[in-house]
Amino acid sequence: MVQEVINSSEHNFSWIDISEPEDTEMAGIAQKFHLHEELVKDCLQPDHLPKYESIENYAFIIFRIYTDREGLEADTVRELTHKIAIFYSKEFLITIHRKPVKLIDELKEHVKKNTCKSSYHLLNLLIKGCLHTFDAPSERLSKGLEYYEEQIFIRSRKVPLLKGMYYLKRKADVIRRMLILSYDIIDNIDAEKGDVNTRDTRDQYVKLHNIYDSLLENVNQLLNLYFSISSQRTSEVMRILTIFSVFFMPLTFIVGIYGMNFDFMPELRLKFGYPAVMVLMAVITFGIYIWFKRKGWL
């Protein structure tokens, strides 16, 4: 569906928004604005990564925004983000997206109430809005990180921690990669010196980049801590089992000797043989206990 949000007759530029684009619509738009056919193909690919390309008198931008329908186990680029393709020049701004985007609807309402000075101003508002879609996910990921830290260090470990931390790491990593690939877009938008609006967009980008860098680093550290603590607890269990085995080894040895079926074993005929062996076992056990205590192993 093609919608002309801003008309060039009323302003010095036009904004055309295309939702759920069809081939015939895209062909008409490409012919009218002299868009390169390869760039038109790129804007229709659902899994295309962020890019900035300057062609003659216009620029082509692909920006990925965070989805508002995130799944619990979503961990791929297509599951976590949606693509917005943008053709930009001083005379026009064309936005193309496959699904309805809340950000675009909010921007339409904004331009109805506030006058956009130029297509460049509108482009900056759009990119800034795209960056803002990553704010809420960063807060959710931070809360998730705090939750898993609490589970590891304080709570019981009945929760499937490793699986949850894996998806936490994947989401932080995917968004961080999208931000890194979007650097050229931000850098070209903020090319003019002294523009406060574009500088604010760059600051927002830098802030988000630092947040997701920190999140990914913290998740990696938490995973290392998880494996270290798991290894430590396994070692503790093995230590306890080893201590028990040391207690029972001499007792098993004694029982094994007197369990042999030889005819000539003098101790088997002793009147106090049984209690003597029991006392010997108790003395050996107590001796091992004292030895472990002095060594600090208990």
Q: In the prediction, which pLDDT does 74 show? A: 81
CA distance 199 to 50: 20
Residues 144/77, Cβ–Cβ less than 8 Å? no
Burial class (CB in 10 A: 0-12, 13-18, 19+), 8: middle
Domain assignments of the chain as residue spans, ordered by start: 2-231, 232-295
In this prediction, residue 127 carries a pLDDT of 92
Whole-angstrom distance, CA of residue 177 vs CA of residue 171: 10
Q: What are phi and psi of 94, to 5 degrees?
A: -120, 125
All residue ranges of the chain with pLDDT < 50 are none
Find the distance separating the first CA and the last CA of the chain, reported in whole Å.
75
**Residue 179, SS3?**
helix
User: pLDDT of 211-237, one tens digit each?
Assistant: 999 999 988 888 888 888 778 778 888
Contact assessment for residue 42 and residue 19, using Cβ atoms and an 8 Å cutoff? no
pLDDT score recorded for residue 87: 93
**Phi-psi region at 296: left, alpha or beta (left = phi > 0; alpha = psi -120 to 50):** left
**Domain covering 2-231, topology:** Beta Polymerase; domain 2 (3.30.460)
pLDDT at site 155? 63
The pLDDT score that the predictor gives to residue 132 is 92
CATH class of the structural domain 232-295? mainly alpha
pLDDT score, position 157: 58
